[in-house]
Chains A and B, each alone.
Chain A
Amino acid sequence: MMSLYPEKVMEHIRNPKHRGTVPDATVIADNGNPSCGDELTYYIRVENGLIVEIKHDARGCAISRAAADILADMAEGKSVDEALRITHEDIISAMGGISEGRRACATLSVDVLREALGKL
Protein backbone atom coordinates (compact mmCIF):
# COMPACT_ATOMS: atom_id res chain seq x y z
CA MET A 1 0.00 0.00 0.00
CA MET A 2 1.07 3.55 -0.74
CA SER A 3 2.47 5.49 2.21
CA LEU A 4 0.39 8.17 3.84
CA TYR A 5 3.09 10.81 3.37
CA PRO A 6 6.07 11.14 0.99
CA GLU A 7 8.87 8.70 1.79
CA LYS A 8 11.19 11.47 2.98
CA VAL A 9 8.56 12.67 5.45
CA MET A 10 7.94 9.13 6.68
CA GLU A 11 11.68 8.62 7.16
CA HIS A 12 11.96 11.73 9.35
CA ILE A 13 8.85 10.69 11.33
CA ARG A 14 10.26 7.21 11.99
CA ASN A 15 13.88 8.19 12.52
CA PRO A 16 14.25 11.84 13.42
CA LYS A 17 17.90 12.90 13.24
CA HIS A 18 17.66 16.07 15.29
CA ARG A 19 15.38 15.06 18.11
CA GLY A 20 16.65 16.08 21.55
CA THR A 21 18.20 19.10 23.21
CA VAL A 22 21.50 20.97 23.01
CA PRO A 23 22.73 21.47 26.59
CA ASP A 24 24.95 24.46 25.75
CA ALA A 25 22.54 26.02 23.24
CA THR A 26 23.20 29.62 22.20
CA VAL A 27 19.49 30.27 21.62
CA ILE A 28 16.24 28.48 22.35
CA ALA A 29 12.84 29.37 20.94
CA ASP A 30 9.50 27.71 21.20
CA ASN A 31 6.10 28.35 19.70
CA GLY A 32 3.00 26.52 18.61
CA ASN A 33 -0.18 26.50 16.58
CA PRO A 34 -2.75 27.03 19.32
CA SER A 35 -5.55 25.88 17.06
CA CYS A 36 -4.19 22.34 16.80
CA GLY A 37 -1.83 22.12 19.75
CA ASP A 38 1.34 21.58 17.72
CA GLU A 39 4.34 22.75 19.75
CA LEU A 40 7.96 23.05 18.78
CA THR A 41 11.15 24.05 20.59
CA TYR A 42 14.45 24.56 18.76
CA TYR A 43 17.80 24.40 20.60
CA ILE A 44 20.56 25.96 18.51
CA ARG A 45 24.30 26.30 19.06
CA VAL A 46 25.93 29.03 17.01
CA GLU A 47 29.69 29.52 16.63
CA ASN A 48 31.24 32.35 14.59
CA GLY A 49 27.94 33.02 12.80
CA LEU A 50 27.51 29.36 11.85
CA ILE A 51 24.77 27.00 13.06
CA VAL A 52 26.88 24.10 14.31
CA GLU A 53 24.17 22.12 16.06
CA ILE A 54 20.38 22.20 16.03
CA LYS A 55 17.95 19.95 17.88
CA HIS A 56 14.21 20.06 18.45
CA ASP A 57 11.53 18.78 20.69
CA ALA A 58 8.55 18.76 18.30
CA ARG A 59 5.29 17.76 19.93
CA GLY A 60 2.46 17.63 17.46
CA CYS A 61 1.23 16.00 14.29
CA ALA A 62 3.48 13.94 12.04
CA ILE A 63 3.85 16.72 9.47
CA SER A 64 4.96 19.25 12.09
CA ARG A 65 7.46 16.75 13.57
CA ALA A 66 8.87 15.84 10.17
CA ALA A 67 9.10 19.49 9.14
CA ALA A 68 10.99 20.36 12.33
CA ASP A 69 13.50 17.62 11.59
CA ILE A 70 13.90 18.34 7.87
CA LEU A 71 14.37 22.06 8.54
CA ALA A 72 17.00 21.28 11.19
CA ASP A 73 18.81 19.27 8.50
CA MET A 74 18.59 22.21 6.11
CA ALA A 75 19.79 24.76 8.65
CA GLU A 76 22.62 22.89 10.31
CA GLY A 77 25.99 23.94 8.88
CA LYS A 78 24.55 27.09 7.32
CA SER A 79 25.36 30.60 8.41
CA VAL A 80 22.71 32.39 10.46
CA ASP A 81 22.06 34.74 7.54
CA GLU A 82 21.55 31.84 5.12
CA ALA A 83 19.25 30.06 7.55
CA LEU A 84 17.16 33.20 7.98
CA ARG A 85 16.54 33.17 4.23
CA ILE A 86 14.79 29.76 4.32
CA THR A 87 11.14 30.40 3.42
CA HIS A 88 7.83 28.66 3.99
CA GLU A 89 7.94 27.53 0.37
CA ASP A 90 11.40 26.02 0.89
CA ILE A 91 10.24 23.71 3.68
CA ILE A 92 7.07 22.74 1.79
CA SER A 93 9.05 21.80 -1.30
CA ALA A 94 11.75 20.05 0.76
CA MET A 95 9.04 17.80 2.18
CA GLY A 96 8.17 16.59 -1.29
CA GLY A 97 4.53 17.60 -1.44
CA ILE A 98 1.99 17.85 1.32
CA SER A 99 -1.66 18.78 1.06
CA GLU A 100 -2.72 22.42 1.14
CA GLY A 101 -4.63 21.89 4.37
CA ARG A 102 -1.43 20.97 6.21
CA ARG A 103 0.74 23.96 5.29
CA ALA A 104 0.57 25.51 8.74
CA CYS A 105 1.77 22.22 10.28
CA ALA A 106 4.93 22.45 8.17
CA THR A 107 5.62 26.17 8.25
CA LEU A 108 5.60 26.39 12.06
CA SER A 109 9.18 25.08 11.90
CA VAL A 110 10.37 28.04 9.79
CA ASP A 111 8.64 30.52 12.09
CA VAL A 112 10.23 29.06 15.23
CA LEU A 113 13.68 28.92 13.60
CA ARG A 114 13.41 32.59 12.60
CA GLU A 115 12.25 33.48 16.09
CA ALA A 116 15.28 31.72 17.58
CA LEU A 117 17.80 33.25 15.19
CA GLY A 118 16.18 36.67 15.62
CA LYS A 119 17.24 36.59 19.26
CA LEU A 120 20.95 36.50 18.37
Chain B
Amino acid sequence: MKDVRQDFPTLNLKVGDRPLCYLDNAATTLRPLQVIECMDRFYRDCNANIHRGIHHLSVKATKMYDQAHERVARFIRARSWKEIIFTRNTTESVNLVAYAFGDALVKEGDEIVTTVSEHHSNMIPWQRLAARRRAILRYIPVRPDGTLNLDEAAKIITPKTRIVALQHVSNMLGTVHPVYEVSEMARKVGALVVLDAAQSVPHMPFDVNQFGVDFVAFSGHKMLGPTGIGVLWGREELLREGDVFLTGGSMISEVTLEGAKWNTLPWKYEAGTPNICGAIGLSAAMDYLEDVGLDEILAHERSLLEYAEERLSSLDFVKIYGPGIENRVGIISFNVEGVHPHDVAQACDSFGVAVRSGHHCAQPLSLAIGAKHGTARASFYLYNTKDEIDALVDALVMAKKELG
Protein backbone atom coordinates (compact mmCIF):
# COMPACT_ATOMS: atom_id res chain seq x y z
CA MET B 1 0.00 0.00 0.00
CA LYS B 2 1.27 3.48 -0.79
CA ASP B 3 2.44 5.71 2.03
CA VAL B 4 -0.46 7.86 3.11
CA ARG B 5 0.77 9.39 6.35
CA GLN B 6 1.87 12.70 4.84
CA ASP B 7 -1.74 13.31 3.79
CA PHE B 8 -2.97 13.41 7.41
CA PRO B 9 -1.94 16.62 9.20
CA THR B 10 -3.26 15.33 12.53
CA LEU B 11 -0.52 12.68 12.54
CA ASN B 12 2.04 15.47 13.01
CA LEU B 13 0.58 16.34 16.41
CA LYS B 14 2.39 15.57 19.61
CA VAL B 15 0.81 14.54 22.89
CA GLY B 16 3.16 16.04 25.46
CA ASP B 17 6.54 15.16 23.95
CA ARG B 18 5.38 12.01 22.19
CA PRO B 19 4.02 11.60 18.68
CA LEU B 20 0.29 10.97 18.50
CA CYS B 21 -0.55 7.30 17.88
CA TYR B 22 -4.17 7.44 16.80
CA LEU B 23 -5.75 4.03 17.48
CA ASP B 24 -9.36 5.18 17.95
CA ASN B 25 -10.56 4.78 14.38
CA ALA B 26 -13.67 2.81 15.23
CA ALA B 27 -14.89 5.98 17.00
CA THR B 28 -13.92 8.41 14.26
CA THR B 29 -11.09 8.61 11.77
CA LEU B 30 -8.68 11.37 10.81
CA ARG B 31 -9.22 13.39 7.63
CA PRO B 32 -6.70 13.71 4.80
CA LEU B 33 -5.79 17.07 3.28
CA GLN B 34 -7.69 16.03 0.16
CA VAL B 35 -10.95 16.06 2.16
CA ILE B 36 -10.16 19.14 4.23
CA GLU B 37 -9.14 21.15 1.15
CA CYS B 38 -12.14 19.98 -0.88
CA MET B 39 -14.51 21.24 1.82
CA ASP B 40 -12.55 24.46 2.17
CA ARG B 41 -12.80 24.99 -1.60
CA PHE B 42 -16.54 24.34 -1.55
CA TYR B 43 -17.20 27.06 1.01
CA ARG B 44 -14.85 29.47 -0.79
CA ASP B 45 -15.89 28.87 -4.38
CA CYS B 46 -19.30 27.23 -4.63
CA ASN B 47 -21.17 28.02 -1.46
CA ALA B 48 -24.88 28.14 -2.24
CA ASN B 49 -28.08 26.35 -1.38
CA ILE B 50 -29.12 23.64 -3.75
CA HIS B 51 -32.09 22.83 -5.99
CA ARG B 52 -34.39 25.27 -7.67
CA GLY B 53 -31.71 27.95 -7.58
CA ILE B 54 -31.32 29.78 -10.88
CA HIS B 55 -28.11 31.59 -10.12
CA HIS B 56 -24.69 30.35 -11.08
CA LEU B 57 -23.48 29.27 -7.64
CA SER B 58 -26.64 27.36 -6.84
CA VAL B 59 -26.44 25.44 -10.11
CA LYS B 60 -22.82 24.57 -9.33
CA ALA B 61 -23.58 23.46 -5.75
CA THR B 62 -26.62 21.45 -6.88
CA LYS B 63 -24.52 19.59 -9.42
CA MET B 64 -21.87 18.77 -6.81
CA TYR B 65 -24.45 17.57 -4.31
CA ASP B 66 -26.19 15.40 -6.92
CA GLN B 67 -22.84 13.96 -7.93
CA ALA B 68 -22.11 13.11 -4.29
CA HIS B 69 -25.06 10.69 -4.41
CA GLU B 70 -23.58 9.12 -7.53
CA ARG B 71 -20.18 8.90 -5.86
CA VAL B 72 -21.59 7.02 -2.89
CA ALA B 73 -23.64 4.74 -5.16
CA ARG B 74 -20.46 3.71 -7.00
CA PHE B 75 -18.59 3.13 -3.73
CA ILE B 76 -21.12 0.64 -2.41
CA ARG B 77 -22.17 -0.72 -5.87
CA ALA B 78 -25.74 0.55 -5.57
CA ARG B 79 -27.80 0.13 -8.74
CA SER B 80 -28.96 3.73 -8.74
CA TRP B 81 -27.98 7.03 -7.14
CA LYS B 82 -31.65 7.39 -6.17
CA GLU B 83 -31.04 4.68 -3.57
CA ILE B 84 -28.57 6.93 -1.70
CA ILE B 85 -30.05 9.08 1.06
CA PHE B 86 -27.83 11.45 2.98
CA THR B 87 -28.50 11.56 6.71
CA ARG B 88 -26.48 12.87 9.64
CA ASN B 89 -25.01 9.50 10.61
CA THR B 90 -25.69 5.79 11.03
CA THR B 91 -27.99 6.50 13.97
CA GLU B 92 -30.23 8.76 11.91
CA SER B 93 -30.23 6.26 9.04
CA VAL B 94 -31.48 3.50 11.34
CA ASN B 95 -34.08 5.81 12.86
CA LEU B 96 -35.29 6.71 9.37
CA VAL B 97 -35.98 3.04 8.66
CA ALA B 98 -37.59 2.48 12.07
CA TYR B 99 -40.01 5.38 11.64
CA ALA B 100 -40.71 5.44 7.89
CA PHE B 101 -40.91 1.68 7.41
CA GLY B 102 -41.15 0.14 10.88
CA ASP B 103 -44.25 2.00 12.01
CA ALA B 104 -46.21 0.95 8.92
CA LEU B 105 -44.97 -2.62 8.88
CA VAL B 106 -44.96 -3.69 12.51
CA LYS B 107 -48.29 -4.40 14.18
CA GLU B 108 -49.17 -5.30 17.73
CA GLY B 109 -47.73 -8.69 18.67
CA ASP B 110 -45.32 -8.76 15.70
CA GLU B 111 -41.65 -9.35 16.33
CA ILE B 112 -38.53 -7.36 15.57
CA VAL B 113 -35.18 -9.12 15.81
CA THR B 114 -31.78 -7.62 16.47
CA THR B 115 -28.64 -8.93 18.21
CA VAL B 116 -26.94 -8.59 21.58
CA SER B 117 -23.83 -7.42 19.76
CA GLU B 118 -25.34 -4.20 18.38
CA HIS B 119 -24.12 -0.68 18.87
CA HIS B 120 -26.83 1.23 20.73
CA SER B 121 -27.62 3.00 17.44
CA ASN B 122 -29.02 -0.24 16.06
CA MET B 123 -30.73 -1.25 19.29
CA ILE B 124 -32.58 1.71 20.82
CA PRO B 125 -34.51 2.63 17.64
CA TRP B 126 -35.92 -0.94 17.65
CA GLN B 127 -36.69 -0.82 21.36
CA ARG B 128 -38.65 2.36 20.71
CA LEU B 129 -40.40 0.94 17.64
CA ALA B 130 -41.42 -2.13 19.64
CA ALA B 131 -42.79 0.13 22.37
CA ARG B 132 -44.72 2.31 19.88
CA ARG B 133 -46.27 -0.67 18.11
CA ARG B 134 -46.67 -2.95 21.16
CA ALA B 135 -44.44 -5.38 19.33
CA ILE B 136 -41.87 -7.77 20.76
CA LEU B 137 -38.16 -7.17 20.37
CA ARG B 138 -36.07 -10.33 20.37
CA TYR B 139 -32.30 -10.62 20.45
CA ILE B 140 -30.05 -13.11 18.72
CA PRO B 141 -27.64 -14.03 21.54
CA VAL B 142 -23.87 -14.12 21.29
CA ARG B 143 -21.48 -16.84 22.37
CA PRO B 144 -18.88 -15.93 25.02
CA ASP B 145 -16.50 -14.86 22.21
CA GLY B 146 -19.04 -12.35 20.88
CA THR B 147 -19.98 -14.31 17.74
CA LEU B 148 -23.66 -14.67 16.90
CA ASN B 149 -25.37 -17.89 17.91
CA LEU B 150 -26.96 -18.88 14.59
CA ASP B 151 -28.72 -21.93 16.04
CA GLU B 152 -30.63 -19.56 18.29
CA ALA B 153 -31.15 -17.10 15.41
CA ALA B 154 -32.91 -19.85 13.46
CA LYS B 155 -35.37 -20.25 16.35
CA ILE B 156 -35.82 -16.52 16.97
CA ILE B 157 -36.53 -15.53 13.36
CA THR B 158 -40.05 -16.81 12.68
CA PRO B 159 -43.03 -15.91 10.49
CA LYS B 160 -43.89 -13.33 13.17
CA THR B 161 -40.64 -11.46 12.44
CA ARG B 162 -41.13 -8.25 10.46
CA ILE B 163 -37.67 -6.69 10.68
CA VAL B 164 -34.21 -8.12 11.32
CA ALA B 165 -31.55 -5.52 12.16
CA LEU B 166 -27.91 -6.42 12.61
CA GLN B 167 -24.41 -5.07 12.30
CA HIS B 168 -21.86 -6.27 9.78
CA VAL B 169 -18.84 -5.76 12.04
CA SER B 170 -18.90 -5.29 15.82
CA ASN B 171 -17.61 -1.86 16.82
CA MET B 172 -16.45 -3.29 20.14
CA LEU B 173 -14.73 -6.53 19.11
CA GLY B 174 -14.28 -6.31 15.34
CA THR B 175 -16.26 -9.53 14.88
CA VAL B 176 -17.40 -10.04 11.29
CA HIS B 177 -20.93 -11.41 11.44
CA PRO B 178 -22.37 -13.90 8.93
CA VAL B 179 -24.80 -11.36 7.46
CA TYR B 180 -25.84 -13.46 4.51
CA GLU B 181 -26.82 -16.43 6.68
CA VAL B 182 -28.97 -14.21 8.89
CA SER B 183 -30.54 -12.33 5.98
CA GLU B 184 -31.40 -15.64 4.35
CA MET B 185 -33.35 -16.65 7.47
CA ALA B 186 -35.10 -13.26 7.37
CA ARG B 187 -35.95 -13.49 3.67
CA LYS B 188 -37.54 -16.90 4.15
CA VAL B 189 -40.06 -15.36 6.54
CA GLY B 190 -40.49 -12.18 4.52
CA ALA B 191 -38.82 -9.84 7.03
CA LEU B 192 -36.96 -6.67 6.05
CA VAL B 193 -33.23 -6.71 6.81
CA VAL B 194 -31.40 -3.60 8.04
CA LEU B 195 -27.60 -3.72 8.05
CA ASP B 196 -25.44 -1.42 10.17
CA ALA B 197 -22.29 -1.27 8.08
CA ALA B 198 -20.61 1.60 9.95
CA GLN B 199 -17.57 -0.56 10.74
CA SER B 200 -17.30 -2.37 7.42
CA VAL B 201 -17.90 0.06 4.55
CA PRO B 202 -14.82 2.12 5.54
CA HIS B 203 -12.50 -0.88 5.71
CA MET B 204 -13.22 -3.32 2.87
CA PRO B 205 -14.64 -3.56 -0.64
CA PHE B 206 -18.38 -3.42 -0.11
CA ASP B 207 -21.29 -4.35 -2.35
CA VAL B 208 -24.79 -3.67 -1.02
CA ASN B 209 -26.15 -6.44 -3.23
CA GLN B 210 -24.00 -9.23 -1.78
CA PHE B 211 -25.86 -9.71 1.51
CA GLY B 212 -29.50 -9.92 0.51
CA VAL B 213 -30.37 -6.98 2.75
CA ASP B 214 -32.89 -4.17 2.21
CA PHE B 215 -31.20 -1.26 3.96
CA VAL B 216 -27.58 -0.38 4.74
CA ALA B 217 -26.53 2.41 7.11
CA PHE B 218 -23.09 3.95 7.61
CA SER B 219 -21.34 7.18 8.65
CA GLY B 220 -18.98 9.49 6.80
CA HIS B 221 -16.77 10.36 9.76
CA LYS B 222 -15.64 6.75 10.19
CA MET B 223 -14.22 6.74 6.66
CA LEU B 224 -12.06 9.91 6.45
CA GLY B 225 -15.09 12.11 5.81
CA PRO B 226 -16.52 14.93 7.92
CA THR B 227 -18.84 14.50 10.89
CA GLY B 228 -22.53 15.16 10.36
CA ILE B 229 -22.90 13.19 7.14
CA GLY B 230 -24.21 9.64 7.00
CA VAL B 231 -25.79 7.40 4.42
CA LEU B 232 -28.81 5.20 4.16
CA TRP B 233 -28.97 2.91 1.17
CA GLY B 234 -32.30 1.23 0.49
CA ARG B 235 -33.74 -0.79 -2.36
CA GLU B 236 -35.39 1.65 -4.74
CA GLU B 237 -38.78 -0.10 -4.85
CA LEU B 238 -38.98 0.01 -1.06
CA LEU B 239 -37.94 3.65 -0.85
CA ARG B 240 -40.48 4.60 -3.51
CA GLU B 241 -43.32 3.00 -1.56
CA GLY B 242 -42.17 3.89 1.95
CA ASP B 243 -43.71 6.45 4.24
CA VAL B 244 -41.81 9.70 4.86
CA PHE B 245 -39.56 10.43 7.87
CA LEU B 246 -38.62 14.06 8.55
CA THR B 247 -40.93 16.43 6.73
CA GLY B 248 -40.68 20.01 5.48
CA GLY B 249 -38.75 21.67 2.70
CA SER B 250 -37.16 19.82 -0.21
CA MET B 251 -38.94 16.54 0.43
CA ILE B 252 -42.16 17.74 -1.24
CA SER B 253 -43.14 18.24 -4.88
CA GLU B 254 -46.34 20.20 -4.29
CA VAL B 255 -47.86 21.79 -1.21
CA THR B 256 -51.38 23.01 -0.50
CA LEU B 257 -52.91 24.13 2.77
CA GLU B 258 -54.44 20.67 3.05
CA GLY B 259 -51.38 18.54 2.42
CA ALA B 260 -48.47 17.74 0.17
CA LYS B 261 -47.14 15.37 -2.44
CA TRP B 262 -43.76 13.84 -1.82
CA ASN B 263 -40.74 14.51 -3.95
CA THR B 264 -38.98 11.86 -6.04
CA LEU B 265 -36.09 9.79 -4.70
CA PRO B 266 -33.80 10.42 -2.98
CA TRP B 267 -35.14 13.89 -2.08
CA LYS B 268 -38.25 12.42 -0.47
CA TYR B 269 -36.04 11.39 2.45
CA GLU B 270 -33.85 14.50 2.60
CA ALA B 271 -35.96 17.15 4.32
CA GLY B 272 -34.55 20.63 4.79
CA THR B 273 -31.24 22.03 3.61
CA PRO B 274 -28.94 19.04 3.73
CA ASN B 275 -25.29 18.88 4.76
CA ILE B 276 -24.13 19.85 1.27
CA CYS B 277 -20.49 20.37 2.13
CA GLY B 278 -20.50 17.18 4.21
CA ALA B 279 -21.71 15.13 1.26
CA ILE B 280 -19.05 16.67 -0.95
CA GLY B 281 -16.40 15.99 1.70
CA LEU B 282 -17.54 12.38 1.92
CA SER B 283 -17.21 12.09 -1.85
CA ALA B 284 -13.63 13.29 -1.59
CA ALA B 285 -13.01 10.72 1.15
CA MET B 286 -14.37 7.96 -1.09
CA ASP B 287 -12.17 9.14 -3.96
CA TYR B 288 -9.21 8.97 -1.59
CA LEU B 289 -10.04 5.49 -0.27
CA GLU B 290 -10.51 4.08 -3.76
CA ASP B 291 -7.31 5.69 -4.90
CA VAL B 292 -5.43 3.86 -2.14
CA GLY B 293 -7.51 0.73 -2.74
CA LEU B 294 -9.97 -0.97 -0.42
CA ASP B 295 -8.30 -4.37 -0.90
CA GLU B 296 -4.99 -2.81 0.07
CA ILE B 297 -6.52 -1.11 3.12
CA LEU B 298 -8.09 -4.37 4.26
CA ALA B 299 -4.76 -6.19 3.87
CA HIS B 300 -2.89 -3.43 5.72
CA GLU B 301 -5.31 -3.57 8.64
CA ARG B 302 -5.07 -7.37 8.62
CA SER B 303 -1.29 -7.19 9.06
CA LEU B 304 -1.67 -4.64 11.89
CA LEU B 305 -4.28 -6.82 13.60
CA GLU B 306 -2.05 -9.89 13.34
CA TYR B 307 0.84 -7.94 14.82
CA ALA B 308 -1.27 -6.46 17.63
CA GLU B 309 -2.75 -9.85 18.47
CA GLU B 310 0.73 -11.38 18.61
CA ARG B 311 2.17 -8.61 20.79
CA LEU B 312 -0.77 -8.28 23.18
CA SER B 313 -1.25 -12.01 23.61
CA SER B 314 2.42 -12.27 24.62
CA LEU B 315 1.55 -10.18 27.71
CA ASP B 316 0.21 -12.63 30.30
CA PHE B 317 -1.71 -9.86 32.11
CA VAL B 318 -3.72 -8.86 29.04
CA LYS B 319 -7.02 -10.53 28.19
CA ILE B 320 -8.20 -10.16 24.59
CA TYR B 321 -11.93 -10.42 23.87
CA GLY B 322 -13.75 -11.68 20.82
CA PRO B 323 -13.17 -14.52 18.40
CA GLY B 324 -9.82 -15.34 16.77
CA ILE B 325 -8.50 -12.79 14.31
CA GLU B 326 -9.69 -14.90 11.34
CA ASN B 327 -13.19 -13.70 12.33
CA ARG B 328 -12.24 -10.10 13.11
CA VAL B 329 -11.19 -6.98 11.28
CA GLY B 330 -9.19 -3.97 12.44
CA ILE B 331 -10.16 -3.98 16.13
CA ILE B 332 -8.60 -5.43 19.28
CA SER B 333 -10.55 -5.15 22.52
CA PHE B 334 -8.82 -6.08 25.76
CA ASN B 335 -8.36 -5.58 29.48
CA VAL B 336 -5.27 -5.33 31.66
CA GLU B 337 -5.66 -7.57 34.69
CA GLY B 338 -6.50 -5.57 37.81
CA VAL B 339 -6.69 -2.25 35.96
CA HIS B 340 -9.93 -0.48 35.02
CA PRO B 341 -10.23 0.21 31.26
CA HIS B 342 -10.36 3.98 31.89
CA ASP B 343 -7.01 3.77 33.67
CA VAL B 344 -5.62 1.73 30.76
CA ALA B 345 -6.75 4.45 28.36
CA GLN B 346 -5.17 7.10 30.59
CA ALA B 347 -1.88 5.18 30.66
CA CYS B 348 -2.03 4.92 26.86
CA ASP B 349 -2.65 8.66 26.61
CA SER B 350 0.50 9.32 28.63
CA PHE B 351 2.35 7.49 25.83
CA GLY B 352 0.55 9.52 23.15
CA VAL B 353 -1.61 6.52 22.27
CA ALA B 354 -5.31 7.27 21.70
CA VAL B 355 -7.51 4.29 22.53
CA ARG B 356 -11.11 4.19 23.72
CA SER B 357 -12.32 2.58 26.93
CA GLY B 358 -15.66 1.62 28.37
CA HIS B 359 -18.65 -0.02 26.77
CA HIS B 360 -18.17 1.43 23.27
CA CYS B 361 -21.91 2.11 22.98
CA ALA B 362 -22.55 -1.64 23.21
CA GLN B 363 -23.27 -2.11 26.91
CA PRO B 364 -25.24 -5.37 26.54
CA LEU B 365 -22.32 -6.88 24.61
CA SER B 366 -19.91 -5.87 27.41
CA LEU B 367 -21.98 -7.86 29.86
CA ALA B 368 -22.42 -10.80 27.48
CA ILE B 369 -18.66 -11.25 27.05
CA GLY B 370 -18.01 -10.87 30.78
CA ALA B 371 -16.46 -7.39 30.70
CA LYS B 372 -18.56 -5.64 33.35
CA HIS B 373 -16.51 -2.44 33.25
CA GLY B 374 -16.09 -2.59 29.48
CA THR B 375 -12.79 -2.93 27.68
CA ALA B 376 -10.01 -0.86 26.22
CA ARG B 377 -10.09 -0.89 22.43
CA ALA B 378 -7.49 -0.18 19.78
CA SER B 379 -8.85 0.18 16.25
CA PHE B 380 -6.78 0.58 13.12
CA TYR B 381 -6.93 2.30 9.76
CA LEU B 382 -4.86 2.80 6.68
CA TYR B 383 -2.37 5.22 8.26
CA ASN B 384 -1.47 3.15 11.34
CA THR B 385 1.89 1.47 11.81
CA LYS B 386 3.43 -1.37 13.79
CA ASP B 387 5.50 1.21 15.70
CA GLU B 388 2.24 2.60 17.08
CA ILE B 389 1.28 -0.86 18.31
CA ASP B 390 4.68 -1.06 20.02
CA ALA B 391 3.87 2.21 21.82
CA LEU B 392 0.53 0.69 22.88
CA VAL B 393 2.33 -2.33 24.32
CA ASP B 394 4.76 -0.08 26.25
CA ALA B 395 1.78 1.75 27.73
CA LEU B 396 0.09 -1.48 28.81
CA VAL B 397 3.26 -2.64 30.55
CA MET B 398 3.35 0.69 32.41
CA ALA B 399 -0.36 0.47 33.32
CA LYS B 400 0.16 -2.96 34.82
CA LYS B 401 3.27 -1.87 36.71
CA GLU B 402 1.69 1.28 38.14
CA LEU B 403 -1.83 0.10 38.86
CA GLY B 404 -2.18 -3.64 38.39
Q: Are these two chains actual partners, yes or no?
A: yes
Interface residues of A (CB under 8 A from B): 1-5, 10, 13, 35-38, 60-63, 99, 102, 105
Interface string of B340-383 (1 = CB under 8 A from A): 11110011011000000011000000000000111000000000
A3–B402 contact, CB under 8 A?
A: yes
Q: How far is the CB of B18 from chain A (nearest CB, A)?
A: 12
Q: Which of B359, B399, B402 contacts A10 (CB 8 A)?
A: B402
Q: Which of B339, B374, B398, B402 contacts A36 (CB 8 A)?
A: B374
Q: Which of A4, A37, A102 contacts B402 (CB 8 A)?
A: A4
A61–B374 contact, CB under 8 A?
A: no
B340–A60 contact, CB under 8 A?
A: yes
20 inter-chain pairs at a CB distance below 8 angstroms, sorted by A residue, are A2-B350, A4-B343, A4-B346, A4-B347, A4-B350, A4-B398, A4-B403, A5-B346, A35-B359, A36-B358, A36-B359, A37-B373, A37-B374, A60-B340, A60-B373, A61-B341, A62-B339, A62-B340, A62-B403, A63-B346
The contact size tier of chain B is 10 to 19
Chain B contacts of A5 at CB under 8 A?
Answer: 346
Chain B contacts of A105 at CB under 8 A?
Answer: 342
Select the residue from B346, B358, B398, B399 with max chain A CB neighbours within 10 A.
B346
Cα-based distance from A105 to B349 in the complex (angstroms) = 17
Cα-based distance from A105 to B345 in the complex (angstroms) = 14
Q: Which of B106-157 contact A (CB under 8 A)?
A: none
Select the residue from B341, B342, B399 with max chain A CB neighbours within 10 A.
B342
Q: How far is the CB of B120 from chain A (nearest CB, A)?
A: 11
Chain B contacts of A62 at CB under 8 A?
Answer: 339-340, 343, 403
Interface string of B314-352 (1 = CB under 8 A from A): 000000000000000000000000011111001101100
Cα-based distance from A36 to B347 in the complex (angstroms) = 17
Chain B contacts of A1 at CB under 8 A?
Answer: 398
Interface string of B229-258 (1 = CB under 8 A from A): 000000000000000000000000000000
Q: How far is the CB of A39 from chain B (nearest CB, A)?
A: 10
Nearest chain B residue, comparing its CB with the CB of A13:
B403
Cα-based distance from A27 to B403 in the complex (angstroms) = 31
Nearest chain B residue, comparing its CB with the CB of A105:
B342
Q: How far is the CB of B397 from chain A (nearest CB, A)?
A: 11
Nearest chain B residue, comparing its CB with the CB of A64:
B340
Cα-based distance from A35 to B403 in the complex (angstroms) = 21
Cα-based distance from A47 to B46 in the complex (angstroms) = 73
Q: How far is the CB of B298 from chain A (nearest CB, A)?
A: 32
List 9 extra interface pairs beyond A36-B341, A36-B358, CB under 8 A: A2-B350, A4-B346, A4-B350, A4-B398, A4-B399, A4-B403, A36-B373, A38-B373, A99-B349
A61 and B340 in contact, given A36-B358, A36-B374, A99-B346 (Cβ under 8 angstroms): yes
Cα-based distance from A63 to B349 in the complex (angstroms) = 15
Chain A contacts of B398 at CB under 8 A?
Answer: 1, 4
Chain B contacts of A3 at CB under 8 A?
Answer: 402
Q: Which of B379-404 contact A (CB under 8 A)?
A: 398-399, 402-403
Cα-based distance from A91 to B290 in the complex (angstroms) = 51
B403–A37 contact, CB under 8 A?
A: no
Nearest chain A residue, comparing its CB with the CB of B357:
A36
B399–A36 contact, CB under 8 A?
A: no
Chain A contacts of B342 at CB under 8 A?
Answer: 36, 61, 63, 102, 105
Cα-based distance from A105 to B340 in the complex (angstroms) = 11
Chain A contacts of B374 at CB under 8 A?
Answer: 36-37
Chain A contacts of B343 at CB under 8 A?
Answer: 4, 61-63
Q: How far is the CB of A45 from chain B (nearest CB, A)?
A: 29
Cα-based distance from A3 to B399 in the complex (angstroms) = 10
Cα-based distance from A48 to B229 in the complex (angstroms) = 61
Chain B contacts of A13 at CB under 8 A?
Answer: 403
Chain A contacts of B402 at CB under 8 A?
Answer: 3-4, 10
Q: How far is the CB of B294 from chain A (nearest CB, A)?
A: 33
Cα-based distance from A5 to B350 in the complex (angstroms) = 10
Select the residue from A4, A36, A63, A105 with max chain B CB neighbours within 10 A.
A4
Chain A contacts of B359 at CB under 8 A?
Answer: 35-36
Cα-based distance from A61 to B349 in the complex (angstroms) = 16
Nearest chain B residue, comparing its CB with the CB of A104:
B342
B346–A35 contact, CB under 8 A?
A: no
Chain B contacts of A2 at CB under 8 A?
Answer: 350
Nearest chain A residue, comparing its CB with the CB of B367:
A37
